[in-house]
């Protein structure tokens, strides 16, 4: 039986991109109900309409994960109406994509707020119910940027390093309570969606297909993995960084694999700070 069978699933940033695909895939694997949180109301309504038309049970929440009070209020509504969330997918993420000295203070707060604090706020709101039942799964979509430095991604990388450190530490804490409290940290390289439009794919690190990585993420949930790093070269990043002196690693990553040039032509969605 699928791990998703009859569970309540919540996906942040779930109205588009891999967030939408993960929600759809979870429903196809037998989830009883999907809750989509996003800040884009039009996309939320369109996503819910498309999934409902296919016969799935779906509800939405217009939620800014940077606002811990809003997160808490909306979480209480979810818990009252649907009960414990069995699988929480922390997917909401943003990238500014420019040199650090060009970042405004608002850019910094925006990126750290969504990519780091937002994960913690959402998890904090739903964890008590999971702990009470001693079961549940939290999926944190971090990034390969949490494993390696990269120019023009300073704040984004910082947010993902923070997310990964928190996610792994949370996994260890919850394992002390119950083996059925699970945490999966996902560290993909660039995914071929609008969020990273214009990036140069590093050597031997192809752009990830959204549907393929979605399937791998949900397969990793089913298999109770603790890390998912894709594509293959990302799996080797911790080894290279641990083995090589920093300046040698910079040559390997920057000159040989061209990782440090990957953001030089970045366009993205041109998402405005709110």
Partners of 265 in the beta sheet?
A: none
As a whole number, mean pLDDT of residues 51-62 equals 98
Q: What is the pLDDT of residue 272?
A: 43
Average pLDDT for 153-169: 98
The pLDDT of residue 273 is above 50: no
Distance from C-alpha of 252 to C-alpha of 248, rounded to nearest angstrom = 6
pLDDT tens profile 101-122:
999 999 999 999 999 999 999 9
pLDDT of residue 17: 96
Mean pLDDT of 38-51: 97
Helices (H), the chain: 17-28, 41-53, 68-82, 105-112, 118-133, 154-177, 210-222, 232-243, 246-250
Q: What is the pTM for the complete model shown?
A: 0.95
As a whole number, mean pLDDT of residues 34-46 equals 97
Residue 105: active-site member:
no
Q: What is the total residue count of the chain?
A: 274
The full set of domain ranges for the chain reads: 8-261
Q: What are the tens digits of pLDDT across the range 166-184?
A: 999 999 999 999 999 999 9
Active-site annotation holder among 3, 121, 156, 260: 156
Which pLDDT belongs to residue 136? 98
User: What are the distances in angstroms from CA 76 to CA 5, 61, 130, 173?
Assistant: 23, 12, 14, 24
Q: pLDDT category, 270, cuts 50, 70, 90? A: low
Which of 35-39, 80-84, 196-200, 219-223 is predicted with the least confidence, judged by mean pLDDT?
Answer: 196-200
Cα three-residue angle 247-249-254, rounded to 5 degrees: 95
- The 10s digit of each residue's pLDDT in 215-253 is 999 999 999 999 999 999 999 999 999 999 999 999 999
- Phi first, then psi, for residue 62 (nearest 5°) are -85, 95
Q: What is the CATH number assigned to the segment(s) 8-261?
A: 3.40.50.720
């Amino acid at each position: 039986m699928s791990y998703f069978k009859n569970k309540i699933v919540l996906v942040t940033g779930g109205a588009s991109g891999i967030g939408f695909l993960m929600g759809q895939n979870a429903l196809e694997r037998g989830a009883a109900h999907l809750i989509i949180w996003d800040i884009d109301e039009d996309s939320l309504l369109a996503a819910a309409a498309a999934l409902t038309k296919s016969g799935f049970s779906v509800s939405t929440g217009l939620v800014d994960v940077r606002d811990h009070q809003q997160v808490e209020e909306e979480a209480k509504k979810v818990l009252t109406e649907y009960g414990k969330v069995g699988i929480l997918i922390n997917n909401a993420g943003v990238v500014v994509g420019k040199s650090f000295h060009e970042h405004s203070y608002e850019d910094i707060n925006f990126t750290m707020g969504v990519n780091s604090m937002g994960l913690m706020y959402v998890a904090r709101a739903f964890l008590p119910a999971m702990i009470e039942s001693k079961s549940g799964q939290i999926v944190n979509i971090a990034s390969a940027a949490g494993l390696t430095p990269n120019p023009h991604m300073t704040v984004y990388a910082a947010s993902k390093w923070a997310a990964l450190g928190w996610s792994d530490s949370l996994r260890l804490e919850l394992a002390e309570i119950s083996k059925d409290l699970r945490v999966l940290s996902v560290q993909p390289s660039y995914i071929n969606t609008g969020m990273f439009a214009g990036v140069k794919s590093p050597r031997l690190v192809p752009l990830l297909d959204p549907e393929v990585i979605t399937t791998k993420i949900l397969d990793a949930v089913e298999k109770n993995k603790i890390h998912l790093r894709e594509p293959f070269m990302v799996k080797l990043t911790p080894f290279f960084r641990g083995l090589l002196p920093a300046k040698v690693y910079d040559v390997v990553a920057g000159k040989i694999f061209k990782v440090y040039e990957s953001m030089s032509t970045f366009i993205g969605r041109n998402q405005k700070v709110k």
